Structure 1
Amino acid sequence: MYKKIILPTDGSEYSNREILRATKLLAEDGEVIILSVATELRKTAFQRSKDIDRANKESIQEAKEYVAAMKKGFDDSVNVRTKVVVGFPAEAINQVAEEEGADLIIIASSGKRGLHRFVIGSVAEKVLKDSEIDVLLVHD
């Protein structure tokens, strides 16, 4: 059983499949951290600052909605915390896992079918490749 599990979400239906796995693998006194990574746009010569600021605020708000929605999928008896960070998804997921002292990351695959069913998403692949802790890849 795992004491601290990171559950990244991008709001997709596939990330919700992680809930069942986390519940089964979590120690009785463990904690789940639902994480969403908001992307940050940087100003370029062709974009106005206020447009970039608005897009960044929307990205953070969307990430907050993702973690709140996923938290609703857990039973009240499970210790769940939400977290939103800004950055590049794979790097941020691994960084938060390290900072939080997590011992497992549960991440959904890309959800492709047919010939592509063995191919995982680029974020999941990078997390899996770069993580220093256990990673459970959830297939659809």
Structure 2
Amino acid sequence: MYKKIYIAIDESEFSKHALSVATNIAQVFKASLCIAHCIIDDTQPSQKIGLEVLEKAKAHINDLLIETKLIVVEDQYGLNGISMAIAESAIEWEADLLVVGTSNRKGLDRFFSGSVAEELIKKIDCSILLVRIK
């Protein structure tokens, strides 16, 4: 069913859990997996940290065709910029499933801080799996 699964990660527990779920789905469907990470500035130190995050994630995955992407996001656009960059990258890669970790915030906390996952739902047409930690 799914041939190309895309996941954007950070270093949160939500992302680690979502990566585990995405990996399991990719193994079941024998799909390609693209792991992406966003950085705010395109400096050498930022790139190095971003690449380390991707390599650390990639190291825990066996027997899958894996691609990694480092996405540079302009800080001035906040969550909208991050979600737009992820959406554009997933569309360019022709993903048919986007897996996103989410914190499941509620109430005023969600109202004021928003959610990259919530923004992605508005911007992408492929299937989206939101992964929450209970």
Which interval holds the TM-score relative to the shorter structure? 0.7 to 0.9
Q: Per-residue deviation at 1:23?
A: 2.6
C-alpha contact 1:109 1:121 (8 A) present in aligned 2: no
Match of 2:20 in 1: 20
Any conservation in 1 of the 2:87–2:124 contact (CA below 8 Å)? Answer: yes
1:64 aligns with 2:68: no
Query: Match of 2:88?
Result: 95
Normalising by structure 1, we get a TM-score of 0.76
Aligned length: 121
* TM-score normalised according to structure 2 size: 0.79
Task: Render the CA deviation track for 1:64-118: whole Å, top value 9, x for unaligned.
Answer: 111111111212x111111102123211110011111110110100254xx55xx
**Structure 2 contact 117–130 (Cα < 8 Å) conserved:** yes
Unaligned runs of 5+ in 1: 41-52
Name which one, 1 or 2, has greater alpha-carbon Rg: 1
Alpha-carbon distance in structure 2 between the residues aligned to 1:63 and 1:92: 15
- Code of the residue aligned with 2:7 in structure 1: it is L
Q: Which has the higher helix share?
A: 2
Q: Which runs of 5 or more structure 2 residues have no equivalent in the other structure?
A: 74-80
Let me know the Cα RMSD of the aligned residues: 2.2
Correspondence for 2:116? 123
Q: Distance in 2 between matches of 1:72 and 1:111?
A: 27
- Percent identical: 30
